[in-house]
Structure 1
Amino acid sequence: MIGAVLGRVAAVGAACVAYGFYEARHFLVRRQRVPILPPGSAPLRLLHVSDIHVMARQAYKTEFISALAGLEPDLVVTTGDNWSEQASLEPLMRAWGRLRDVPGVYVMGSNDYEAPTFRPPMAYLIRSTEGRADRNEPLPVEQLKAAYSERGWVDVDSGRTLITVRGITFEFRGTDDAHLGRDDYALVAGPPSAEADVSIGVTHAPYLRVLNAMTADGVELILAGHTHGGQVCVPYYGALVTNCDLDTIRAKGLSTHAHDGHTSWLHVSAGMGSSPFATYRFACPPEVTVLTLTASDSNG
């Protein structure tokens, strides 16, 4: 009797493990509406991509990215952790294809600076890796940045830029990766530019210090990644961890963030990938998101 029960438990466990590897290869396109454009504005589509963690051999990722051009976004934002090895740079840029001609901005994540090494796949369930003393092999991050900037995407790590799309002027401000302590919000602090119709903040890891500062400054929408949506979630419950100090309820998707009397929209991408040493997701499919930006006086 006990043996039969244990056998069934083992079978269920094996099925869950097998499904987790399957889920990690099957991407979703999420869609959300965010009412932040000036009254009377026509909708714009912003494609938010994060945490690709691509290896050169992972054709299933680059094929998905190639297909994203069919979404015809007006803006593209990538919030870091793009690659896991230098050899993936060429196939990644090739996969972006004509999306690189769409106005876009980017910031870097921790794994854009250093290659991953093996750690127990579930170690992040036990503790955050923020500020860890051990460091991995450096990656040539300046090559990645140069490739992204080559056709016009703007690096907003510790910077601001203005981009006008269909008559709407967006101000983007960003921070370098907070997970490695590289963020210095003072470099971009202050109210939005008087020239901007909409202010958007971009960061890799959604640490509260960054979210609070952006919100207090009047940024209307904040985009982040890093959490993988929890990566291994409990069905009908959600994420167990975020690998930062953001609460698990907001580990992925669209929510709001309030601080110092101000409120911003917050979108945390569950991301496309995972460490190449833990290519496993459960109850948290890999994804990208199309954010349809609408007029602030719209019902959507």
Structure 2
Amino acid sequence: MTDRDLQGLIERIGADHVARRLAVETEHEAQLFGQGTLLFNVENWQLAPWIVEGALKAAGLYGRARRNADRVELRQNTVTSANLPASFDGFTILQLSDLHADISQGAMQHLTGFVGDIACDICVLTGDYRGKTFGPFDTSLALMTELCTRLKPPLYGILGNHDSIRMTPALEAMGVRMLFNESETIARGNDVIHLAGIDDAHFYRADDIPKAAATIPRDAFSVLLAHTPESYRAAARAGFDLMLSGHTHGGQLCLPGGIAIKLEARLPRRMGAGAWRFERLAGYTATGAGTSLAPVRLNCPAEITLHTLRRSE
């Protein structure tokens, strides 16, 4: 892929944004220390998958963890808001996050087998389509193409910390409207809600929530797609009603009861998986359909999530 392939994106979001993200990809995408919100980026440590798999094998848990990783659950989440227009009561959003398609092929196969049967009003993809944080992405895009043919449009997406901005033209060719600190209006009759999406805030630090919210009326119902929930304070300040995220995998390897051993994010643990609230902002952190580092899961099922919006009085 050449920079010419990004020309349409440059014209839409600006040469500055594209150039800054490409610069991080060129100079820092495999960096272990000092880039992004964490001091040490374990996802960039090449020994990490070997250590994870070795520890599970030593504990006799590897077979179970591998089987768990290949199963994806459909979870239901209801979001209530007095700010929701009446005509959007019952509106559904299907969220897919953290597919890591090339290293999660068992999960992708399972997901592709049933996702086309799920009825929804819109589908959103909250980032991390590639397994590693750097390197080739052709296999991931091929698997994403097959998945997207099964999903019910319209489709909206954002990039995660594992994704290259060079993946964008291919994702948009699949019918995914990728959002880079932008927003879209969704209409039902005479009513509208707003959907915004930000670029990765965890590693690339390319997010701009005020820009994403700039064209959204302050009193309108609005949803923010943010790969990591670490941006929750800024989302609340900007007046968003709902924030849909992933990134944490819910810990992926958890103690009984779903207690994460480690969350690769700077945020309260209660926001590491599932539904949460901060001030007037409702949030949901998906555990993800795929896996990071290695295709293994313990006490933390893979998921896609169907969110139903309900108007409260």
Q: Is the 8 A contact 1:107 1:156 kept in 2?
A: yes
Aligned to 2:16: none
CA RMSD across the alignment: 2.6
Over 3 Å counting, the alpha-carbon distance change for 1:16 and 1:157 in structure 2 is same
Aligned CA distance change for structure 1 residues 204 and 26 (closer, same or farther; 3 Å): same
1:267 and 1:57 map into 2 onto residues whose CA distance is 22
Q: 1:32 — aligned with what?
A: 77
1:281 Cα deviation (Å)?
Answer: 1.0
Matches within 5 A, 1:168-247: 168-180=191-203, 181-190=205-214, 192-193=216-217, 197-207=220-230, 210-236=231-257, 238-247=259-268
Which of residues 266, 282, 302 is equivalent to 1:286? 302
* Count, aligned residues: 251
Q: Deviations over 1:114-152 (max 9, x none)?
A: xxxxxxxxxxxxxxxxxxxxxxxxxxx33x322332364
Q: State yes or no: 1:265 paired with 2:282.
A: yes
Q: What CA distance in whole angstroms lies between the structure 1 residues aligned with 2:307 and 2:284?
A: 9
The verdict on how the C-alpha distance between 1:274 and 1:151 changes in structure 2, with shifts beyond 3 A counting, is: closer
Of 225, 247, 253 in structure 1, the residue corresponding to residue 274 of structure 2 is 253
The 2-side partners of 1:229 and 1:34 are apart by 20
Residue of structure 1 equivalent to 2:171? 148
Distance 1:183 1:42, change over 3 A: closer
- Compute the displacement of 1:283 (Å): 0.4
Unaligned ranges ≥5, structure 1: 1-9, 114-140
Q: How far apart are residue 66 of structure 1 and its match? A: 4.6
**TM-score of the superposition, structure 2-length normalised?**
0.72
TM-score relative to the length of structure 1: 0.75
Retained in 2: the 8 A contact 1:20–1:280?
yes
Task: State whether residues 229 and 239 of structure 1, in contact with CA within 8 Å, keep that contact through their aligned partners in structure 2.
Answer: yes
Quick one: structure 1 residues 165 and 82, their matched pair in 2 at CA, closer, same or farther if it must change by over 3 Å? farther
- Alpha-carbon distance change, 239 to 146 in structure 1, aligned in 2, over 3 angstroms: same
For 1:84-163, what aligned pairs fall within 5 Å after superposition? 84=131, 85-99=137-151, 102-113=153-164, 141-142=165-166, 144-150=167-173, 152-163=175-186
**Which amino acid letter does the alignment assign opposite residue 228 of structure 1?**
H
SS at match of 1:55: helix
Greater CA drift, 152-161 or 248-257: 152-161
Go from structure 1 to structure 2 and tell me whether the alpha carbon gap of 1:231 and 1:56 turns closer, same or farther (over 3 Å shift). closer
The one-letter code sitting in structure 1 at the alignment partner of 2:282 is W
> 2:232 aligns to what SS in structure 1?
helix
Question: CA distance change for structure 1 residues 232 and 57 in 2, over 3 Å: closer, same or farther?
Answer: closer
- AA aligned opposite 1:266: G
% same residue: 26
- Structure (1 or 2) with the larger CA radius of gyration: 1
Equivalent residues of 1:47, 1:77 under 8 A apart: yes
Taking the aligned partners of 2:102 and 2:234, their CA distance within structure 1 comes to: 34
* SS of alignment partner, residue 288 of structure 1: strand
- SS of match in other structure, 2:254: coil
Check the 8 A contact 2:181/2:207 in 1, yes or no: yes
Task: Go from structure 1 to structure 2 and tell me whether the alpha carbon gap of 1:167 and 1:73 turns closer, same or farther (over 3 Å shift).
Answer: farther
- Asked if the contact 1:240/1:248 (under 8 Å) is kept, the reply is no
Specify the code of the residue in structure 1 equivalent to 2:297: R
Distance 1:153 1:164, change over 3 A: farther
Structure 1 residues 221 and 88, CA, compared in 2 at 3 Å: closer, same or farther? same
Aligned counterparts of 2:69 and 2:257: Cα–Cα separation in 1: 19
Amino acid at match of 2:70: R
